[in-house]
Amino acid sequence: NILNSRWENLRVRSMERQNNLHQVLMDLQNQQLSELSDWLAKTEKRTAKMESEPLGPNLESLKKQIEEHKILQEDLEQEQVKVNSLTHMVVVVDEASGDRATIALEQQLQLLGNRWATICRWTEDRWFVLQDVLRKWLQFIEEQGLLDTWFTEKEEFVTTIHTTDFKDQKEMLEYLQKLAILKGELEIKRQSMDKLNSLSQDVLSAVKNKELSQKLEGWLQNISHRWDSLAQKLEGSSKQISQAVAAIQTSLTQTTVMETVTMVTTREQILVKHGKEELPQAPSPKKRQIVVDSEIRKRFDVDTTELHSWMTRSEAILQSPEFAIYRKEGNLSDLREKVNIIEREKPEKCRKLQDANRSSEALIEQMVNDGLNADNIKQASEQLNIRWIEFCQLLSERLAWLEYQNNIIAFYSQLQQLEHTVITVENWMKAQLLPAADPDAVKIQLDRCK
């Protein structure tokens, strides 16, 4: 009796301690979920406020918004640690509540996962928008400065022609040739103006500000007027020098002038032809870097952006808190379908990755040949490939998890069927009478047992 009493006391104390630990785990679990829900609510208000604020309206304001967005990204990375801990959390519910508590907790985890994924997607998409606007804005400012410098230099050159006292016809012919070359460069600059107009439209479509719109449109109109004015001055100067040469030359000299003009015109046509086939060359390394093929760069940027966005959306599904719950029963068809969709899209995205790699290789080769720094292209390509490897690893883990979870559900389903069969047979055996003395009756009972 003493031994039984001590055993009973020990059992009761163990059960009490187990219940206390169970309660502590439940409280800690609810606290973590509550803290995550509060953080999500706070961040949702934060992102809504950021989205309501227009971009810009100036470059400094845009850079400030990018810095604020970086802080948001850092906060997300810090919170990701807590979300990962919830992903691997062992779910604890009150046994007295039954299946309803488990279902309610699963729904709560799914809701939190969807809210987390929405914030991640918004942050990723917003980051790409900010980076794209900043890149185009900086490119516009750079092109604007180069074009201003070029026009100022050429306007001064044309002005000096009117004040030049030519010594002989040879000097006149040299200036005439320079003017013809300048005409070809002026045609090429028309492409730069079109490019600036396109960049300004892209910036204004994102930064909807009337003051900025008036400023950019005013500058574009001014540069267009300068182009027209320079073209008229070139035409007038060329005509003036040609008339001066014709007035002092003999017929032989006039023939030489015609040959020179023909040669200059041909060179002008070649310059214009080359200008249409490739981007304008820089006046000198100090003033202008050679611009690489914009089509390849655009294709690389589009492919990279598409792949990052797809991986972000897919990771939001693959990192869902639903993967933290190991179930003995239930239906995983919805979750499996979401993962299968990602798996089916993967080959197409892999081909897109190969296209991006080929574009980056072509860009790097072109930039190296032109003496430009290609580190940013290399870094973007490396980051894309590293993220792709990590994403594929995560996808493989989730597919393996789903397979393992299905095996668990199948095992417990079979175990439940087996237990049901055993109970049924035991009840049947208990209901049977003692073996009869009659051999025929014993045989009947034996057949039933079989």
Evaluate whether 92 touches 23 at the Cβ level (below 8 Å).
Answer: no
Q: Which two tokens stand for residue 85?
A: 């801990």
- What is the maximum span of the chain, computed from C-alpha positions, in angstroms? 150
User: Which has the closest alpha carbon to 110: 300, 404, 321?
Assistant: 321
Per-residue pLDDT tens for 196-255?
Answer: 888 888 888 888 888 888 888 899 999 999 999 988 888 888 888 777 766 665 443 344
Evaluate whether 120 touches 76 at the Cβ level (below 8 Å).
Answer: yes
Asked if residue 423 has pLDDT above 90, the reply is no
Evaluate whether 320 touches 110 at the Cβ level (below 8 Å).
Answer: yes
Residue with tokens 């820089």: 282
Evaluate whether 87 touches 315 at the Cβ level (below 8 Å).
Answer: no
Angle at 14 between CA 11 and CA 19, to 5 degrees: 125
Give pLDDT, residue 75. 92
Q: Which two tokens stand for residue 247?
A: 């007035």
Residue with tokens 């990204």: 73
Angle at 130 between CA 48 and CA 213, to 5 degrees: 100
Among residues of the chain, what percentage have pLDDT more than 70? Answer: 79
> What CATH number was assigned to the domain covering residues 140-258?
1.20.58.60
Give pLDDT, residue 45. 95
Please enumerate in sequence order all residues whose Cβ is within 8 A of that of 106, keeping only pairs 6 or more positions apart, or say none.
Answer: 322, 325
123 confidence band (pLDDT: 50, 70, 90): very high
Q: Identify the helix (H) or strand (E) that includes residue 166.
A: none
Per-residue pLDDT tens for 209-220?
Answer: 888 888 888 999
Per-residue pLDDT tens for 69-110?
Answer: 999 999 998 998 888 877 666 565 566 666 777 788 778 888
DSSP track, 25-53? HHHHHHHHHHHHHHHHHHHHHHHHHHHHS
- Between the CA of residue 59 and those of 27, 56, 137, 280, what are the distances in Å? 49, 6, 8, 27
d(CA 48, CA 54): 12
Please enumerate in sequence order all residues whose Cβ is within 8 A of that of 141, keeping only pairs 6 or more positions apart, or say none.
Answer: 59
Cα atoms found within 13 Å of the Cα of residue 66, Cβ hemisphere only: 15
d(CA 152, CA 224): 14
d(CA 279, CA 200): 18
End-to-end CA gap in the chain: 45
> What CATH number was assigned to the domain covering residues 1-132?
1.20.58.60
Where does CATH 1.20.58.60 sit in the chain?
Answer: 1-132, 140-258, 295-428
44 confidence band (pLDDT: 50, 70, 90): very high
Q: What is the 3 state secondary structure string of 132-172?
A: HHHHHHHHHHHHHHHHHHHHHHHHHHHHHHHCCCCCCHHHH
Q: Which two tokens stand for residue 145?
A: 């400065």
Query: Of 1.20.58.60, 3.40.50.620, 3.30.420.40, 3.90.550.10, which CATH number belongs to 295-428?
Result: 1.20.58.60
Q: What is the pTM of this model?
A: 0.49
